[in-house]
């Protein structure tokens, strides 16, 4: 005996066959694209620290090969930020 259903004109939406795995891979790709810059920066910092320790154990003056570029980058970033702050203050004051 066949069961009769009354749908009154409503048909449920059909499921797509390729949806679930492609969505999982897309979400994974987006998550890793967000995390990779931070992981790369962390790895770079660890390499610089290890290189500094190695060079310092070889000769203390060689450790300056890694310390000077890092200090120069920090100085540049601080100077750039200060310049942008001064420009913003001048713009707010109308100078």
pLDDT at position 5: 60
- Domain-embedded: residue 72: yes
pLDDT at position 50: 95
Helices (H), 59-94: 64-93
The pTM (predicted TM-score) of the whole model is 0.56
Per-residue pLDDT reduced to its tens digit, 65-78: 998 999 999 999 99
pLDDT at position 17: 63
Q: Is the per-residue pLDDT at 61 higher than 70?
A: yes
Instruction: Quote the tokens at residue 25.
Output: 């891979």
Are 63 and 70 within 8 A, CB to CB? no
The total of structural domains in the chain comes to: 1
Q: Is the per-residue pLDDT at 3 higher than 90?
A: no
- Domain-embedded: residue 45: yes
User: How far, in Å, CA of 27 to CA of 6, rounded?
Assistant: 39
Per-residue pLDDT reduced to its tens digit, 16-35: 666 677 888 889 999 999 99
- Indicate the average pLDDT of the chain: 87
- Domain-embedded: residue 44: yes
**Which domain range does residue 69 map to?**
19-93
Angle at 9 between CA 13 and CA 20, to 5 degrees: 5
Q: Is the per-residue pLDDT at 45 higher than 60?
A: yes
């Amino acid at each position: 005996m066949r069961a009769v259903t009354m749908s009154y004109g409503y048909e449920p939406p059909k499921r797509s066959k390729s949806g679930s795995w492609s969505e999982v891979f897309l979400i994974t790709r987006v998550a890793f694209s967000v995390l990779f810059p931070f992981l790369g920066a962390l790895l770079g910092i660890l390499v610089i620290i290890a290189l500094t320790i190695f060079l310092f154990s070889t000769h203390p003056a060689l450790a300056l090969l890694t310390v000077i570029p890092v200090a120069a980058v920090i100085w540049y970033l601080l100077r750039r930020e200060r310049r942008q702050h001064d420009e913003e203050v001048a713009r707010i004051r109308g100078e």
